[in-house]
């Protein structure tokens, strides 16, 4: 595949709205009408529980990891970064949902990082888990991890392309969590339960 073809593949794979599709198949509902309205793993987990939430999370990670790794192996590290970025864009605005709002890119960004900057993925993943364990807010964990992204890439000595990608990805994730930050300030953001479901108003 060519450079452009791999990037296009990244966008199409990223556009697969697994949160929307799995909830439709197994619950017969539109996840966009529940919780935060996002199609990503956090909203599925928060609204429908860990079984569906974990399945969506793994699929969302894979759709970032696969095109990024393909780009790295077939062309170059830059191709992997851009293919991963395209997958994240597809996740946020999926063509299969007519470019309507999708997910908030956290899991997909994690998949990309495992392919192009694995040590950054490990460090930031640990930051996410620690923050979530303390707060039980996925949104807080995601925002803190987004801030940590470019810092980790810089400290770990990755090249400029990875640092720029990490900074843009982190900023994008924070922007997509604007509504969560408003709910946190208002005290209406719900914590995730590790068992069962928690419905967000």
Q: Is residue 196 situated within a structural domain?
A: no
To the nearest 10 degrees (0 to 180), the angle between helices 50-74 and 106-116 is: 40
pLDDT at 201 (0 to 100) = 32
Please check whether residue 71 lies inside any domain of the structure: yes
Question: What is the residue-level pLDDT of the chain in tens, covering all 201 positions?
Answer: 799 999 999 999 999 999 999 999 999 999 999 888 899 998 998 889 999 999 999 999 999 999 999 999 999 999 999 999 999 999 999 999 999 999 999 999 999 999 999 999 999 999 999 999 999 899 999 999 999 999 999 999 999 999 999 999 999 999 999 999 999 999 888 787 665 444 443
Residue 125 CA, distance from chain mean position: 12
Q: What is the domain count for the chain? A: 1
Helices 41-48, 138-155: inter-axial angle, 10-degree rounding:
150
Q: pTM of the full predicted structure?
A: 0.91
**Contact criterion met (CB below 8 Å) for 180 and 28:** no
Confirm whether 191 is domain-assigned: no
- Give residue 199's pLDDT: 43
Q: Give yes or no for a contact between 40 and 102, defined as CB atoms under 8 angstroms apart.
A: yes
Flag whether 200 is in a domain: no
Outline where 117-158 has alpha helix (H).
Answer: 118-135, 138-155
Domain residue limits at 97: 3-186
Residue 198 lies in a domain: no
**Any domain includes 193:** no
Residue 26 lies in a domain: yes
Cα distance between residue 63 and residue 53, in whole Å: 15
Report helix, strand or coil for 94. Answer: coil
């Amino acid at each position: 595949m060519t450079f452009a073809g791999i990037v296009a593949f990244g966008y199409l794979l990223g556009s697969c709205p697994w949160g929307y599709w799995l909830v439709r198949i197994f619950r017969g509902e539109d996840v966009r009408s529940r919780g935060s309205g996002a199609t990503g793993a956090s909203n599925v987990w928060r609204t429908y529980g860990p079984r569906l939430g974990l399945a969506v999370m793994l699929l969302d990670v894979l759709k970032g990891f696969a095109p990024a790794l393909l780009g790295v192996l077939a062309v170059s590290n830059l191709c992997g970064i851009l293919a991963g970025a395209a997958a994240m864009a597809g996740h946020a605005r999926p063509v299969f949902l007519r470019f309507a709002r999708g997910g908030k890119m956290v899991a997909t960004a994690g998949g990309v990082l495992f392919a192009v900057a694995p040590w950054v993925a490990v460090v930031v993943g640990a930051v996410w888990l620690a923050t979530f364990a303390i707060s039980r807010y996925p949104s807080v964990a995601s925002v803190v991890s987004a801030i940590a992204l470019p810092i980790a890439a810089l400290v770990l000595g990755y090249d400029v392309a990875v640092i720029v990608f990490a900074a843009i990805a982190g900023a994008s994730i924070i922007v997509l969590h604007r509504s969560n930050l408003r709910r946190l300030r208002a005290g209406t953001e719900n914590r995730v339960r590790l068992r069962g479901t928690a419905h967000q108003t």
